[in-house]
A and B are shown apart, each in its own frame.
Chain A
Amino acid sequence: AQTVTQSQPEMSVQEAETVTLSCTYDTSENNYYLFWYKQPPSRQMILVIRQEAYKQQNATENRFSVNFQKAAKSFSLKISDSQLGDTAMYFCAFMPYSQKLVFGQGTRLTINP
């Protein structure tokens, strides 16, 4: 069975700081996708960034970047120059070929002014 673990239930940083959210996963599959989703309070889930397992290069989207360590089954998200609008629940998710997303428990991130 595939599992995703986020070990940080909550994190809080000051605006403009850099923050890293951790995620580990377990799977026996060799080809898959990994994602970070953002769920703002009372708003729908949106995709922040994705990583293809067969690509060694870490994905980057503006202020968001990942550190993908396939052998260690680790997939962390770094948010640079954090903004108040980054306050949200962040979910790490795994997608096998079946397309059924497997989510972690989430990390509640608060950006303080």
Chain B
Amino acid sequence: DTGVSQNPRHKITKRGQNVTFRCDPISEHNRLYWYRQTLGQGPEFLTYFQNEAQLEKSRLLSDRFSAERPKGSFSTLEIQRTEQGDSAMYLCASSSFSGIFYNEQFFGPGTRLTVL
């Protein structure tokens, strides 16, 4: 088990382009979370999945953002028509949710997006 992985690690794009990030959680973790971290700030929750179902989306997630988790394994986060304000680190975390209160979230290294 190599932990949570994210690809690409860095992405530079021009304003108006579409970008897609991928997150591979720890195998058999049924929960997957996306957070966004802007420079000098703590991460903010974006959305999360339990298996393939997207259970909640933050109001931070505008219509230009879409996330999927087909088959309940890896997840993708797509941003359409990128804006400079989308520049941030996008973090993925996974956990094994068993219905009890606490389930540790393990974080990936993040994808740093720069929109020019």
Contacts and interface: CB of A to CB of B under 8 A. Distances in A.
Interface stretch (A12-20, A62-70, A76-84, A92-100): A92-100
A84 to B, nearest CB: 22
Interface in B93-116: 93, 95, 97, 101-105, 107-110
Interface in B57-116: 91, 93, 95, 97, 101-105, 107-110
B109 A105 contact: no
Contacts of B35: 101
Interface in A32-59: 33, 43-47, 50, 52
A100 B101 contact: no
A91 interface: yes
B36 to A, nearest CB: 11
Contacts of B48: 99-100
- Chain A interface residue bracket vs B: 20 to 34
B107 A46 contact: yes
A47 B107 CA distance: 9
Chain A: interface secondary structure? loop
Nearest to B47: A100
Chain B interface size range: 20 to 34
Contact of B97 (A6, A93, A99, A103): A99
Contacts of B102: 33, 50, 52, 95
A34 to B, nearest CB: 11
B101 A91 contact: no
Nearest to B4: A44
A52 B43 CA distance: 21
Given A44-B110, A45-B91, A99-B95, A104 B42 contact: yes
A91 B104 CA distance: 15
Interface of A: 4, 6, 31, 33, 43-47, 50, 52, 91, 93, 95, 97-106
18 contacts: A33-B102, A43-B109, A44-B109, A45-B91, A46-B107, A50-B102, A50-B104, A52-B102, A97-B101, A98-B56, A99-B95, A99-B103, A99-B105, A101-B45, A101-B105, A103-B42, A104-B42, A105-B42
